[in-house]
Amino acid sequence: MEPESVVAGSAGVLPPSVVDTDGADEPRPATSDGLFIVGSVVKEVTSDEKTDGIRNHIASLLQVHNLVILMGAGASFHLGSPHIRNLKNQDILDLIADAGIEADESDGQLLQLLNPEERGDLEALLNNLQLAQSFGEKLSSGSVKLGHKDVPIAHIRDLRKHLNAALAFACQLPAPGTRTSSSYAIHKTFLSRLARARRENLPRPKIFTTNYDLVIEQALDELGYPYIDGFSGTVDRRLNMSVYGLDFHRVDSSSQAVVSRAENSFYLHKLHGSLNWRASELSQDSGSVESIEVTQVQSLASVSDGAVLIYPTSSKEGDTLSYPYTDLFRLLSTALQQPDTAVLTIGYGFWDAHINRILLGSLTMNPGMNLMIVDPGAVFGAKADLGRLDSSSRGVPVNGLGIALAAEQPVAEIAGIADSRIAVFTGPRATFKNFAELLPDQSIFSQQISPTALAQLIERLGQPAPITEGPADV
């Protein structure tokens, strides 16, 4: 549904402050670029000059006892994370080709059967391919009928495999060969400000992400921040959930007595797996019992070969009931049940029912939980014009602004819930990059050198002095 033209307030007329005038020199107010909504009511219309309300809200959330961050694909769009909805068939074929897989004419024909309107949802396509393959295999049939055409099961299986491989390849961010020194700058800004804004006596922030990419890990490594991701070991890294019970502390080098907690540390949970996870089956004792062991690999030469990933199909909810996902989702549920909890979602569109049940169920059961959603276009749509809204829109319910809510968007529905614990930041300003800049920057006051800069300084100072020829000047 296309958004309706923007009006302010319930009267359906533009406020005088934004109506064009004949006075050439008369200043116009700053154009609004976002809406901060609390409990279904507009709390602030943001612009370059007006962000105090949302900045204060963010600052207060960062000081809660238990801080949970949920990051989805939208947090990596600026690095080329693939959009998986409203795809033309050629877009899908291009994804396959980018992964180095040769698609033939029959692939295009099969996509046309599955996506005749050229508005493909990659999750729906993978789901339909999975169902068709399963149906044919259960009937011991060599083909299944799609529309009026019999399609070989082998062809369905191959296309499904190609799509999975293409999706995994597209999640190598930034794309191979395009990485620069500033690739992870936005994530580094977000993570460093997040870490510095928290008081030292508060528990570590817990980051949960549905993304397969390694962007968060890369950013933390460049910052020099330690983090716990559930793996133990150095050369041979193996998933061990008990590691999440550990923490980082500074100790006296001689007595080993704890001096203080190490600063700037995080817990990281990859809810849907990771490009560098691999699984192997281990036999126990006589070999009658087998278990899955997950390890980390250094090379992503073949990202889809044995990668431990939950692909976007209807079976992904069932996949979460197996190891290691069942343990990861248990940790998410436990984190959301703690008193004085704030959950900040960035780039997560609320399309995963298994996560929504945990999030919204915890909001029902835990009165001490606050939820803040950051999404630029999921409330009013990406094309909505918020530029004519001004301070007169404060206090107006989101459904009374005269802007059509985005049809069938979960975040739009959540934004309309009259619960003061639910805040939504939306509009062009609500991208991951812009939101990172809204976080309090404690380094402005502390002027502390970053661990990376300090390491570079030590390396420079450790170099031998250059040899000069001739006598020194007296």
Task: Tell me the three state secondary structure of residue 385.
Answer: coil
The token pair at 441 is 């920057």
DSSP H or E stretch at residue 163 = helix 153-170
pLDDT at 15 over 70: no
Identify the residue whose tokens are 């979460």: 320
- Rg of the Cα trace of the chain? 26
Predicted confidence (pLDDT) per residue in 134-171, tens digit: 888 888 888 888 878 889 999 998 998 888 888 888 99
Q: How would residue 465 be classed by pLDDT, with cut points 50, 70 and 90?
A: low
Q: How far is CA 147 from the centre of its chain?
A: 37
Helical spans, DSSP H, in 409-473: 410-415, 432-438, 443-446, 451-461
Domains and CATH numbers, the chain: 34-81+178-441 (3.40.50.1220), 89-170 (no CATH)
Q: Is the pLDDT of residue 252 over 50?
A: yes
Residue given tokens 């996949």 in the structure block: 319
Q: What is the mean pLDDT of residues 225-239?
A: 94
Mean pLDDT of 282-296: 62
CB atoms within 10 A of CB 336: 23
Q: Is residue 258 scored above 80 in pLDDT? A: yes
What percentage of the chain has pLDDT greater than the value 70? 82
- b vs e for 128-153, b when ≥16 Cβ sit within 10 Å of the residue's Cβ? bbbebbeebeeeeeebbeeeeeebeb
Whole-model pTM over 0.85: no
Residue 204 CA: distances (Å) to CA of 97, 268, 270: 42, 10, 17
**Strand partners of residue 343:** 68, 371
List pLDDT tens digits, range 391-417: 899 999 999 999 999 988 999 999 999
pLDDT of residue 310: 65
% of the chain residues with pLDDT over 90:
49
Q: What would the pLDDT profile of 407-461 be if each residue is shown by its tens digit?
A: 889 999 999 999 999 999 999 999 999 999 999 997 655 555 656 666 777 877 8
Question: Tens digits of per-residue pLDDT, 259-271?
Answer: 888 889 999 999 9
Mean pLDDT throughout 323-349? 95
Read off the pLDDT band of 6 (50, 70, 90): very low
Q: Residue 20 has what pLDDT?
A: 37
Token digits of residue 228: 């716990």
CA 202/CA 62 separation, integer angstroms: 10
Q: What is the tens place of the pLDDT at every residue in 32-72?
A: 899 999 999 999 999 988 999 999 999 999 999 999 999 99
Count of Cβ atoms closer than 10 Å to residue 342 Cβ: 23
At 1 the pLDDT is: 42
Please tell me the predicted confidence (pLDDT) of residue 11: 33
Measured CA to CA, the distance from residue 212 to residue 224 in angstroms comes to 22
Buried/exposed code over 212-241 (b: 16+ C-beta within 10 A; e: otherwise): bbbbbbbbbebbebbbbbbbeeeeebebee
Buried b (16+ CB within 10 A) or exposed e, 15-52: beebeeeeeeeeeeeeebbbbbbbbbebbbbbbeebbe
Cα separation, 415 vs 413, in Å, equals: 5
Which residue is associated with the tokens 């597209």? 170
Residue 10: its pLDDT value, please? 34
